[in-house]
Amino acid sequence: MYKKILIPLENSAADKAILEHIRPIANMMDASLLLMHVADGWVARNYEQLHLAESEEMKTDRAYLESVAQTLRAEGFEVDHVLAMGEPSDEIVKFVRKHKVDLIAMSTHGHRFVSDLLYGSTADKVRHLVDVPVLLVKARN
pLDDT tens string 57-115: 999 999 999 999 999 999 999 999 999 999 999 999 999 999 999 999 998 865 554 44
| The pLDDT value given to residue 47 | 79
The answer on pLDDT for 48 being more than 50 is yes
CA distances from residue 42 to 54, 55, 57, 111 in whole angstroms, order as listed: 11, 9, 10, 26
CATH ID of 4-138, from 3.40.30.10, 3.40.50.300, 2.30.40.10, 3.40.50.620: 3.40.50.620
Q: How far is CA 134 from CA 4, 37, 76, 105, 124, in A?
A: 13, 16, 24, 6, 10
CB 119 within 8 Å of CB 63: no
Cα 57 → chain centroid: 16
Choice between 125 and 7, residue whose per-residue pLDDT is larger: 7
CA distance 32 to 113: 33
Average pLDDT (5-21) is 94
Residue 7: which H helix or E strand, with range?
Answer: strand 4-8
pLDDT, one tens digit per residue, over 18-46 is 999 999 999 999 999 999 999 988 888 88
pLDDT at 14 > cutoff 80:
yes
Q: How far apart are CA 33 and CA 69, in angstroms?
A: 9
Determine contact, residues 90/129, Cβ cutoff 8 Å.
Answer: no
Name the CA dihedral angle for 119, 22, 132, 109, rounded to a multiple of 10 degrees: -10
